[in-house]
Amino acid sequence: PLSRLPEIEEARQKLPILGEEQAVMECINENPTVIICGETGSGKTTQVPQFLYEAGYAHGGGIIGVTEPRRVAAISMSQRVATEMNLSTREVSYQIRFEGNATPDTRIKFMTDGVLLKEVQQDFLLLKYSVIIVDEAHERSVYTDILIGLLSRIVPLRAKKGKPLKLIIMSATLRIEDFTENSHLFRVKPPVVKVDSRQFPVTVHFNRRTPFDNYLAEAYKKACKIHQQLPEGGILIFVTSQQEVQTLCSKLKKAFPYIKGQVEAKPEKTESRRERRKKEEEEKKIMPKIDLNKYSVQPTDDEAEMEMGDDSDLDFDHNDIETEEEDEKDMEESAENDIQKTVQPLWVLPLYSLLSSEKQARVFRPSPEGCRLCVVATNVAETSLTIPNVRYVIDTGKAKTKYYDKVTGVSTFKITWASKASANQRAGRAGRVGPGHCYRLYSSAMFNDSFPQFSPPEITRRPVDDLVLQMKDMNIDRVENFPFPTTPDSEQIKLVHYTTASAAKITPLGRAMASFPVSPRYARMLAMGHQQGLLPYVIAAVAALSVDQLFIDTRASSDAATEASVAILKMAIFSMQIDKELIFILYHLYHQLSLLCAGVFAQESSDVQKKIQTICNVKRLWAGSGNSLLLGDLMVLLKAVGACEYEGLSPQFCDRYGIRFKAIKEVRKLRTQLTNAINMALPEANLCVDPKLTPPTDLQAKLLRQIALSGLADHIARFNPQVPTASDADSQKKKYAYECCEFEEAVYIHPTSALYKKNKEFVVYQNIHETSRPYMKGVVAVEEE
Ligand code: ADP
Ligand code: MG
């Protein structure tokens, strides 16, 4: 029996799902597969594992497994559930790609969906588990989709064996028909338990106009106004990337600085509790009034209301939801006398998935007394993490998605409109603690006409070669017939048959490749490296290639400075149009400009300049000449890894040479993991991770180049200044242009590459990133000197 702390028990009792415990458990006991859907924050992720534990599912010879599409969620949820159950992390643990704290005593294991997929490869029936919860199924991550397909077959097999496995699919209230109505997936339609949520009404305010391209500045303005004019309550802002989160956080911190001790020292503290409560109550009362005066109430927008009506079965009254067209001017006018009484400090916290878990945990803690909470987040905060006490949501309406060109394999990040479903999830975050407001920085027309209903599942948007190979290694020979919740493009599956040289059945090379935890092209390089006796180098190279951005993004920092000056320029133009705002804007302008001149930006950019210079120099040194130079970026990576290891992975060394410390640590882990995997597959190789990997000789560099070519053979480009450029602006760059198969316009070697401006006739590349123009990264020359 569990002994939960009283305050935990109290918090649990408030969660909607607690009232459904009996219904949920009865449904699970009676059915092999159950779908649980409920609004974000209703308690699915934290409570269902506990229900199962208390019903004995972790003590009948199997444990409880929970999969999450995001690492953040796996870590943070395992910690939360351990705390709630008053158990140690030995018993409630997590496992993600490179780390975990699971032990033989683990009873509940949170893991990423990719980790469980790997486990299926080892033990197809997942005998270690008595129940698998697939959480956040609505996110439709590829691994989640494949897991659901696999589990739909594993569940009946386990039943036949007399060792039943329960499958629980949990989702926000979105498009569950892909799971329930797909008879190829589940022949018997699984029952759906809906969890009612105590969602409070959220008033949605649309912008009258959709700002052109400057949604960050718009979000900043809106946050300032909310903070200065509206009653207490946390603010949650949705932007698209880590960089945007950081930019906006630093701007907001500068505008409303929090100085430790300052707030506590205010006389307000002496105010009696009762007085304060009374004041708060009064504030709450005026809130709707402020609302009506400040915003012109427009007739309800039908479409948007219908959208919010996602939760049509839930218990709140839809008439409570109003959508309004925000009248910018009204709000601007009332901003005029707010500069002096610049209010409380703002407790600004970033939230994105690569943030360390300690920093992530801060969003769950109460903000310092007298401060308003403001979380700037990527879409992590949409459904996987519920931030308490949010009353205002600012939605830029944007999402960053990775797009792949199926033919060329080019990947690009594009910022596009999110889906209607996402926008409504975001709005819903404002209604957890009380009635809330969502400010959409786009017009209702834009929402209606340009937002897709849902974002398409990932599996339809990315190459599937690695997946098909993994599936074949699980003896799923006919991938075309696999019960995917949404089937990927069949052309793509055929392409994999072709490139992996495995018709229907997997070949021995294919099987060896699948056992390496890397994508097929790298697996092929490893196999070749073995033949040439160069495995330690190939392992180090593949490890470095598999990690995103080993070197710091020097260009991004200078972009930030440019972005700031553009923002100031836009503000200046804006202030000329609206007199009343002039002082307000100038104040900010001045603030920004003084920062720029006095140093923050200027100093940062001169530091950055110096750093860029150092990095360029050392890269040039590392690239060397002869066969070394021909090996290009791969040589630079190898030398960077070697040098870092030689210096004992010192953060100072990394910092000096612009190497991301976190990335180099991942490289080490991946090197170790690959070395172990290969030692297991090929005991005669007898490899170890050499901390003093000496640079390859000229001959070795030549052989390594051939190995790289074998893995990247389909990513070949030819120097050709005649190739048509995508835009006129590119015409000066023309003399460095390359053409590559099936990519119509010119591509270029990235300026940070060792082979930049070397004009080698044929090169292969790791990938093409489309930023200002399509850039090849990870470039290796083909031709001889
Ligand atoms: P769902 O999975 O249905 O979206 P969750 O189980 O994630 O809901 O969340 C239930 C509640 O637990 C939320 O109110 C959330 O704020 C709270 N919660 C989750 N993690 C933590 C944490 N680390 N600290 C405090 N509260 C948390
Ligand atoms: Mg959840």
User: What is the Å distance from ligand 2's center to 367 Cα?
Assistant: 23
Give the number of the ligand closest to the Cα of residue 388. 1
Which residues, including other chains, have CB under 8 Å from residue 352's CB and lie 6 or more apart?
241, 242, 245, 377, 378, 380
Q: How many CA atoms lie within 13 A of 347 on its CB side?
A: 20
The number of angstroms, rounded, from the C-alpha of 256 to the middle of its chain's C-alpha atoms is 28
- What strands, in cross-sheet order, belong to the sheet with 323-326? 323-326, 202-207, 436-440, 390-395, 234-238, 372-377, 346-351
> 41: Cβ below 6 Å to ligand 1?
yes
Q: Which amino acid is at 223?
A: A
Cα dist. 448→183, 205, 302 in Å? 32, 14, 10
Q: Which residue has the tokens 């790997």?
A: 118
The number of angstroms, rounded, from the C-alpha of 279 to the middle of its chain's C-alpha atoms is 40
Number of other residues whose CB lies within 10 A of the CB of residue 226 = 21
> 43: Cβ below 6 Å to ligand 1?
yes
User: What is the Å distance from ligand 2's center to 485 Cα?
Assistant: 20
Whether 40 and 172 have beta carbons less than 8 Å apart is answered as yes
User: What is the Å distance from ligand 1's center to 365 Cα?
Assistant: 12
> 635: Cβ below 6 Å to ligand 1?
no
Q: How far apart are CA 64 and CA 58, in angstroms?
A: 6
Q: Which amino acid is at 686?
A: N
> 388: Cβ below 6 Å to ligand 1?
yes
The number of angstroms, rounded, from the C-alpha of 590 to the middle of its chain's C-alpha atoms is 35
Which residues, listed in sequence order, are joined to residue 323 by a DSSP beta bridge? 204
User: What is the Å distance from ligand 2's center to 203 Cα?
Assistant: 24
Which residues, including other chains, have CB under 8 Å from residue 301's CB and lie 6 or more apart?
206, 323, 325, 444
User: What is the Å distance from ligand 2's center to 382 Cα?
Assistant: 10
User: What is the Å distance from ligand 1's center to 41 Cα?
Assistant: 6
Q: Which residue has the tokens 């950081």?
A: 246
* pLDDT < 70 positions in the chain: 261-343, 404-412, 463, 465-466, 490-518, 553-608, 726-731, 742, 785
> 45: Cβ below 6 Å to ligand 1?
yes
Give the number of the ligand closest to the Cα of residue 16. 1
The kind and range of the H/E element at 393 are strand 390-395
Give the ligand 1 atom nearest the CA of 170.
2
> 40: Cβ below 6 Å to ligand 1?
yes
- Model pLDDT, residue 496: 52
Atom 6 in ligand 1: residue holding the nearest Cα: 43
Q: How far apart are CA 593 and CA 565, in angstroms?
A: 9
User: What is the Å distance from ligand 1's center to 178 Cα?
Assistant: 26
- Model pLDDT, residue 402: 75
User: What is the Å distance from ligand 2's center to 111 Cα?
Assistant: 13
Q: How far apart are CA 39 and CA 754, in angstroms?
A: 50
Q: How far apart are CA 237 and CA 423, in angstroms?
A: 12
- Model pLDDT, residue 211: 83
Atom 23 in ligand 1: residue holding the nearest Cα: 80
- Model pLDDT, residue 291: 30
Q: How far apart are CA 731 and CA 724, in angstroms?
A: 9
Q: How far apart are CA 102 and CA 88, in angstroms?
A: 11
Atom 14 in ligand 1: residue holding the nearest Cα: 41
Which residues, including other chains, have CB under 8 Å from residue 80's CB and lie 6 or more apart?
46
Question: Which one of 18, 46, 200, 379 would you pick to mutate in the ligand 1 pocket, going by the greatest count of ligand atoms within 8 A of its CB?
Answer: 46
Number of other residues whose CB lies within 10 A of the CB of residue 467 = 23
Among 704, 411, 751, 760, which Cα is nearest to 551's?
751
Q: How far apart are CA 677 and CA 717, in angstroms?
A: 33
- Model pLDDT, residue 595: 47
DSSP type of residue 100: B
Q: Is the dihedral of CA 379, 382, 388, 390 positive or negative?
A: positive
Give the number of the ligand closest to the Cα of residue 50. 1
Give the ligand 1 atom nearest the CA of 79.
23
User: What is the Å distance from ligand 2's center to 361 Cα?
Assistant: 16
Q: Is the dihedral of CA 305, 307, 308, 310 positive or negative?
A: positive
Cα angle for residues 691, 697, 701 (degrees, 5° grid): 100
Give the ligand 1 atom nearest the CA of 80.
23
User: What is the Å distance from ligand 1's center to 42 Cα?
Assistant: 8
Q: Is beta strand 774-777 parallel, antiparallel or unpaired with respect to 767-770?
A: antiparallel
Give the ligand 1 atom nearest the CA of 76.
23
- Model pLDDT, residue 578: 45
User: What is the Å distance from ligand 2's center to 134 Cα?
Assistant: 10
Q: How far apart are CA 488 and CA 44, in angstroms?
A: 29
User: What is the Å distance from ligand 1's center to 12 Cα?
Assistant: 10
Q: How far apart are CA 378 and CA 384, in angstroms?
A: 11
Six-digit token string for 107: 């009873």
**What does the pLDDT look like over 284-302, one tens digit per residue?**
443 333 232 222 222 222 2
Question: Residue 363 in 3-state DSSP?
Answer: helix
- Model pLDDT, residue 109: 98
Question: Which one of 10, 20, 47, 80 would you pick to mutate in the ligand 1 pocket, going by the greatest count of ligand atoms within 8 A of its CB?
Answer: 80
> 44: Cβ below 6 Å to ligand 1?
yes
Which residues, listed in sequence order, are joined to residue 345 by a DSSP beta bridge? none
Q: Which amino acid is at 436?
A: G
Give the number of the ligand closest to the Cα of residue 44. 1
- Model pLDDT, residue 685: 75
- Model pLDDT, residue 288: 33
Which residues, including other chains, have CB under 8 Å from residue 160's CB and lie 6 or more apart?
none
User: What is the Å distance from ligand 1's center to 47 Cα?
Assistant: 9
- Model pLDDT, residue 492: 58
Atom 15 in ligand 1: residue holding the nearest Cα: 386
Q: How far apart are CA 691 and CA 176, in angstroms?
A: 50
Burial 293-310 (b: 16+ CB within 10 A, else e): ebbeebeebeebeebbeb
Number of other residues whose CB lies within 10 A of the CB of residue 434 = 13
Which residues, including other chains, have CB under 8 Å from residue 535's CB and lie 6 or more apart?
526, 529, 678, 685, 687
Phi, psi angles (nearest 5°) of residue 706: -60, -40
Q: Is 527 exposed, middle or buried (0-12, 13-18, 19+ CB in 10 A)?
A: buried
Give the ligand 1 atom nearest the CA of 432.
14
> 389: Cβ below 6 Å to ligand 1?
no
Q: How far apart are CA 48 and CA 53, in angstroms?
A: 9
Q: Is the dihedral of CA 354, 67, 500, 746 positive or negative?
A: negative
Give the ligand 1 atom nearest the CA of 17.
3
Among 385, 376, 379, which Cα is nearest to 398's?
379
Give the ligand 1 atom nearest the CA of 47.
6
Question: Which one of 386, 387, 433 would you pick to mutate in the ligand 1 pocket, going by the greatest count of ligand atoms within 8 A of its CB?
Answer: 386
User: What is the Å distance from ligand 1's center to 106 Cα?
Assistant: 21
Number of other residues whose CB lies within 10 A of the CB of residue 46 = 20
